Amino acid sequence: MANLDSNTMQHELHFPMMENDEYQKAQNQEIKLGKEEGLDVSLYANPQFNWLQMEQIRMGLKDKVDASIYADPANNYETMRQIRISLYAGIDLIPYLKRGFTDDDLEEIRMAVMNRLPIDKWLQDNMCAPQIHQIRVGLCEDLDVSAYADIQYNWMQMQEIRLGLEKKVDVSIYAKNLFNHAQMREIRLGLEAGLDVSDYCSLIYSATDMKEKRQAVVNRKRLGSDSKEQDENRNSRTGKTSLRDPYSKKEFSIFIEENGNKAYAHIPWVPGNVVTKEDIYHDLERRGIVFGIRQEAIDDLIDRKRMNEKVLIAEGIPAHKGKDGWFEWFVRLDLPRIPAPLPDGGVDYVNIEAFEMVDEGERIALYHQAEEGTTGTNIYGESIHAEGGVELKPLRGVGFTLEPDGVTYTSKMNGKFEFVGGRINISNMLIVREDVTAVTGKLEVDGSVYVIGSIYSGGYIKATGDIIIEHNVETGRLIAGGNVMIKKGSCSKNDCFIDAGGEVSGSFFEAANINAGGNVKANYIMNSNINTKGRVIVSGSKGVLLGGTTSAVKGVDTFNLGNRLHIKTVLDIGRNGIYEKEQEEYEEKREQLLNDLQSLEQERSKMVVMSAAGVDVSEELRRRIYGAIDVKMQELAEMDGEASKLVNQTEQTTKEPVCVRGRAHEGSLITINGIKYTLKGEVRRVVFKLRGKQVVMVAL
C-alpha cells in the first residue's frame, strides 16, 4: 500500500501539532494496519514511537489487553513485548519495570513467575538478565540458590557456584566473590574429581596457575607419585647433574587449544636459541600433558629446526555424541497433502494419491534405539564424557500395536494409514469397486469409504471417517465424520447433499449442497449452497464462484466472483448463521456441563460432611466422585478453548475476509459480520473487508 498522505493523516487522527515528516514508511504502515483492524491508533500515532514500538502497542490492542500500561516512548520495543506477553498470562511486570528491570531482565522474571518460582525472594535491584537466569535455573532444579543469589557475584561466578551445587560439592570452599569465575571453575573441577584442592585454593594463584596445579595433582594421582621428584631422586642417587650452557637460550611456547584436546609448539627464531627434545618433553610433563604425544612431530620439529612454525605435538581423542534414535518406516509418509498445481493455477484433484492402505499385521515402523556416545581422552589423560543419543518418544495414535520387542509397530487391521501431526491413524476402509446408486443400497461404515467409480441416482454413503470418490457425484448424499474428496467433481440439480466434519474438495461443484466443518476447495463452484466453518477456496485463473449462497466463517478466496450476466452471488462471511448456531450449541452444552458439575460438587460436599461426622465413606465412591469432577472440568476447559478459538477465527477473518484475485462482477452481495454490501460494478484484484461499520474494497 502507498504511504498515507500527510494532510489526510493529520486530519483523520486529529493531531494538529504532529510533525508528519517525522514518520517513516514503517511507522505509517503500522498506523494503517491499526486503522484497518478497527483499532484506536491514537494510543501510538506519535512520532516519539519507532515502528517496532508501534507494532507492540498495535498487537496489544488487537489482542484486547490494556496496551496503555506499556505505551510509553521510554520503554523500548523488547520491554513492551515482554509486558504484552505477560498480560496474556495475567502476570504484572510493571512493579519490576519500576524497579529498573527491562528487556531480557523482564523475560527472565516473566518465565520465573509463570513457573511459580519464588524469584521475588532472591531478586535484587541492579541484577542483570544473566544473573536472574542463573537464579531461575537454580530454582527450577530445586537448588539452594542462597549460596549465590547475591549481587556481589557476576553471572559467571553464579554459574560456577550453581554447577557445583548440581554436582553436590562443597561450594563454600570457593563461593567467595574475590575469586573470579575462572578460579572458581578450577576449584570446582578439582572438587568434582575428588582432589585435595587446598594446594591451590588461594587468591595468590591465578586461574592459569590453578589449572596447572590441578592438572599436576591429576597426573600425580594417576601415576602414583610426582614424576619430577622421582627424577631428582634418581639424579641424586646416580650423582648426575644437569649441565646447561649459560650462553644458550631456551625460548619456545606450547599452546593448548580446543579445550585441552590439542597442544602446539612454537620455537621462535632468536640468535642463540637452542631448544632440545628434552626441553619439549620436560615442559609437557610440567604441564601435565601425558596423552596423545606425537613423538615423530617433536623429532621433526627439533631435527629439522622448524623455527617460527606452529606444530601439533599432542592430540587427544575427541568424544563423539551417540546417534539419536530413529524410526524406519515401511509405509509412505510423503503422500502429497496438497494437490499438484495445473498450468492455469488451478489444482489437480484427479491425480492426487489420497491415502495409503495397510494390511492387518503389516509392519508399519521399526524403532532403532539411540546409541551410546564414544568417550574421548584429552591430552591431560582425562576422560571426556560423550553424550548419548536422544531417544524418541513412542509413536502415538490408533489402529496399530507395539510388539513385545518394544520397537516394532504393526497394523491391527486392513485399513487406511495416515500420519498427521505426529500421530498414526489406521482406520477401517471399505473399497467399493463399482458405482454407488440407489440400487446398491445405503452404505454405512465405521471408518472410511473409497469408491472406485461414481455416485448416481440416489446413492447414499455414511462414514465415520473420510469418503473418497474417484470419479463424479450426481444425485446422492454423502455424510462423513472426516473429509470428502470428489476427484472429478459434482454436477447435479440441487439434489446432491454433502455433509463433512472436515474438508470438502473436488475439481468442481455445480448445484451442490455442502455443509463442512473445514475448508471447501474446488477449481470452480456454480449455483451451490455452501455452509462451512472454514474458508471457501476457488483456485486457478479460470476459477469462479458463481451463483448460490456461500456462508463461510473464515471467508472466501476466489479468482473470479460472479459473471457478466450479473447472476446473483451471495456471500455471508464471519459471524453468520453458522457462527451463531455454533455459539448457541456451545452455550447449551456449557450449561449442561455446569449443571453436571454442580451435582457432582454437591455429592462431594455431602461426603465431606459425612467424613467430618465420623461416617465411613468408601474410598471407591470418593475416587469416582473426584474423578468425575476432574473429567467434567477438563471437558469444560476444552469446550471453552474451542469456543475461544472460533471467536479468534472470526476476528482474524476481518483481515482478508473476501479476496478476489481476478474479477468481481456486479450483482454480488457480500455480507461481513452482518454488514451488507452490494457490488455496483465490475472491479479487479480487490479485498472486501470491514472498516468500522462499513464493507470497503482495498486493492490487492
pLDDT digits (tens, 9 = 90+) for 180-219: 988 999 999 989 888 888 888 888 788 888 888 888 877 7
pLDDT-derived band at 6 (thresholds 50, 70, 90) equals very low
Average pLDDT over the chain, rounded to an integer: 83
Please determine, for residue 87, whether its predicted confidence score (pLDDT) is greater than 60: yes
Does some domain include residue 88? yes
Q: What is the mean pLDDT of residues 91-99?
A: 90
343/258 same-domain check: no
Does some domain include residue 36? yes
Measured CA to CA, the distance from residue 350 to residue 340 in angstroms comes to 10
86/214 same-domain check: yes
104/185 same-domain check: yes
Does some domain include residue 211? yes
Q: What is the mean pLDDT of residues 330-356?
A: 67
44/157 same-domain check: yes
Does some domain include residue 49? yes
215/298 same-domain check: no
307/356 same-domain check: no
Does some domain include residue 677? no
Weakest mean pLDDT among 146-150, 331-335, 434-438: 331-335
Does some domain include residue 602? no
Give the end of a domain, one of 378, 397, 420: 420
The number of distinct structural domains making up the chain is 3
pLDDT for 344 equals 66
261/217 same-domain check: no
pLDDT for 552 equals 92
pLDDT for 574 equals 85
Domain extent, residue 364, equals: 326-420
pLDDT for 24 equals 67
Helical residues (DSSP H) of 535-618, grouped into ranges = 577-612
Give the end of a domain, one of 399, 420, 441: 420
Q: List C-alpha distances in Å: 94 to 100, 320, 346, 501, 535.
A: 10, 47, 52, 45, 41
Weakest mean pLDDT among 320-334, 400-414, 533-547, 650-664: 650-664
52/93 same-domain check: yes
CA 250, distance to chain mean position in Å, is 58
Measured CA to CA, the distance from residue 384 to residue 214 in angstroms comes to 16
133/272 same-domain check: no
167/275 same-domain check: no
261/210 same-domain check: no
202/118 same-domain check: yes
Does some domain include residue 662? no
Please determine, for residue 45, whether its predicted confidence score (pLDDT) is greater than 80: yes
Give the end of a domain, one of 420, 454, 473: 420
Weakest mean pLDDT among 12-16, 230-234, 473-477: 12-16
Does some domain include residue 158? yes
Measured CA to CA, the distance from residue 554 to residue 573 in angstroms comes to 7
The 363-368 sheet, strands edge to edge: 326-329, 363-368, 408-411, 400-402
